Structures are given as C-alpha cells and as structure tokens.
Amino acid sequence: MRTRSAGRSLGAGSWCMADVALFEFLHTEMVAELWAHDPDPGPGGQKTSLSVLEGVGFRVGQALGERLPREMLTFKEELDVLKFLCKDLWVAVFQKQMDSLRTNHQGTYVLQDNSFPLLVRMASGLQYVEEAPKFLAFPCGLLRGALSTLGIKSLVTASVASLPACEFWEALPVSRVKWGPQSICLLLRGEAAPGCRSPFHRRGIQDQRT
Amino acid sequence: DDLSHKTQSSELFTLTYGALVTQLCKDYENDEDVNKQLDKMGYNIGVRLIEDFLARSNVGRCHDFRETADVIAKVAFKMYLGITPSITNWSPAGDEFSLILENNPLVDFVELPDNHSSLIYSNLLCGVQMAVEAKFVQDTLKGDGVTEIRMRFIRRIEDNLPAGEE
C-alpha cells in the first residue's frame, strides 16, 4: 500500500471532517487485533508485544508529518519541533494540547498529557493500569514517525502512573553536530516512571548496540 | 446537542485505516483472510458505534428499511464521515438498496497494488451495518466510477437493538 501526498496541510479546513469516535473505535479494535501479535519476535524470542502497534503508529505519524505545512519544515531548534508536537500535532490528532513539556536540555523531553483522550473513557485511577500500555503504543509510534519525517531519529516510550494521565518520553540525539536529517545518535535519557512496562525501551537500547 | 461532537480531520482516520490494512496484508497470506478480519473489526466497531449514534442523534426506531436507509445515508454517514451517500436501486420488494459514494474518504491516499486485487479495501465499512448484509459491488479503487455498497435486509433483531439501523 503506497501513500500519495497531496500537499494539503494537517487538519486543514478543506478536509472532510470525521467524528472522533470513529478513530477511537478503530484504535480500540486495532489494539485488540494487533497487540501481542508479533510475527518477528527478535533475538531470544523476546516478545516485543506492542511493536506492531507502534509500527502502525509510526507509519501514520510519518504520513501526517509529510502533510505538514511547508513552514513547519524549517524549525530552527529542537525545542521548536517539540513545541510543534505538543501544540499542532496533538491538537490535530487529539483536539487538545499537551499539558506540559519538560526537558533536561540534553536531548530528553518529557511530554505530559493529564487527560489522554484514548484513556479518558477507561478509568480514573488505577483500575486498568495494566491495560494502559497497549493504548500508548500507537501514539508513541505516531510521535516517533512525525519526528522521523522532520529528520529526527528518536525513541519514544510512554508510561502511565494513574489513568488517565500519561507521559511520553522523548529521547533525542544529544551529540548531534548539526541540525539535519543525518542525525543518527540515539540515547535515552531519563528514567521511565515506576510501572512502565513498555517494551520499546528495551528494544531501543538493543538497537543502539548493534 | 445532537450532532455537535468533536470532529477531527478525516485524514487521521484514513491514514490509520490505511496503516492497519497494510499491517493486515503483511500478517495474512491471502486477501480473503484480510477481508474477514476487516469485516470482523468493522462489526465490532459497529456494535459500539450504534450505541454512540443512538445516544447522540434523536433517531428513534425505524419502522421500515426505507427509513433505515435514510438514517444511514443522511444522518450516520454525515455524522461520522462527513459525507452523504445517495440511495438508489431499490429492489421491488424493498429489502435491498444501494448506497452510492461519490468519493470514499477511506481511500484518499490509496493505490491498490495489483497483487491485492481481491482485497476489498473498504471492507471495514460493511461491518458497520447490522442485521443486514452489506457488500461492495462497485469500488472506485478498482476502476469503477463510484463506490457502491449494496445493502440487503436479512432479518429484524427483536431484542435490544432497533432493527437494521447502522
């Protein structure tokens, strides 16, 4: 399946509007269908059960990134890109801005959404906290894919302490010489919050060694 | 606030759907199985969607299949996909009709590779209908001028759900 780019902007008014419920239901079905379903379990048979969902999110993020307005592609600083993700991308996808953005100025960013729409309907509290990571794989991939289109390789993992608040961890290259698509250095800074069982963390570290 | 609900650009849904179909094509060897999965997922979505739909629209129980057709085309499609298909080709018995989609938002970015000729790309849409048989008889992706979904009334579900709606 190839995608065509038609040069229209993200969330532009000329677009047909679809109801958000449709995306939410589709996402729920995707989680049910695709999680724990990895045709390529990797070395040692280690199960990266959410990598398929993450991969689907990545492709969607990439395509969304391709459809960004031109001026978006000339960010000067990393922080601008992150602000863009927190504002424009998040609004286009989830109709709200990210609640907070923190960074250690060394390539690690923490994006926090205090009422993440895909979790809001599930619970308020700890009731379904074990299930929550399944619903974060796709958005993690989405962010990673959008960054990839903007020329940034990243590792995005998510953790949930208490529904429906969640955080997206972004690791961006620290030792990059110049701003450009060549950047490849990948490092995860910051510790995942307690209760993080995301498999991406592990996988990303492995990738880096090879 | 019947129809006022959060909307988003349909491209997120469209792109996500495309990525899903791509993934299913990788996972399953033949298109028939992909179609089956899409059908099943569509059905599951439909079961939830009907709740959402009834809660938000003021549509009551439909008394006949013609009314159902109107609700599907003019209210439901409009509400969820922002399009209004036209209704044509009623069977003399009034138990079959076609929904004609001038443009199918699900296929906006798609070129169907030749080796997936039996893939019914938008099969997910069919699952969204209940107690009826819904199938694609024309598809713009396959070179037809329009997309046509043929709806056939099978039976009335007596319990819990209003018959035939969506």
Contacts of A12 in chain B (CB under 8 A): 9
- pLDDT, tens digit, for every residue of B60-79? 777 777 887 888 888 888 88
Q: Is the pLDDT of residue A183 over 70?
A: no
Whole-prediction pTM value?
A: 0.73
Of A16, A22, A23, nearest to B83 by CB-CB distance is A16
Closest-CA distance of chain A to residue B82, Å = 6
Tokens 């960054």 found at: A147
Q: What is the pLDDT of residues A35-49, one digit of tens each?
A: 765 556 555 544 456
How many Å apart are CA A60 and CA B127, to the nearest integer?
A: 23
Question: Could you write out the DSSP letters of every residue in A70-120?
Answer: GGGGG--SHHHHHHHIIIIIHHHHHSS--SEEEE-SSSEEEEEETT-HHHH
Residues 6+ apart with CB under 8 A from B51: none
d(CA A53, CA A63): 16
Q: Which of A17, A57, A63 sits opposite B82 (nearest CB)?
A: A17
* Residues in chain A, overall count: 210
Minimal Cα–Cα distance from A176 to chain B, Å?
Answer: 31
Q: What is the pLDDT of residue B91?
A: 87
B92 and chain A in contact, CB less than 8 A: no
Q: Establish whether this prediction's ipTM goes over 0.90.
A: no
Say which of A18, A33, A55 has its CB closest to residue B7: A18
- pLDDT (tens digit, 0 to 9) for every residue of chain B, 166 residues total? 334 467 777 788 888 888 988 888 888 888 888 888 888 888 888 878 878 888 888 777 777 778 878 888 888 888 888 888 888 888 888 888 888 887 776 766 666 555 555 555 555 555 444 456 677 777 766 677 777 877 777 655 444 444 454 4
Identify the sign of the CA torsion A153, A157, A158, A159: negative
pLDDT in tens, A73-125: 566 677 778 888 888 888 888 888 888 787 777 777 878 777 788 877 776 66
pLDDT of residue B122: 58
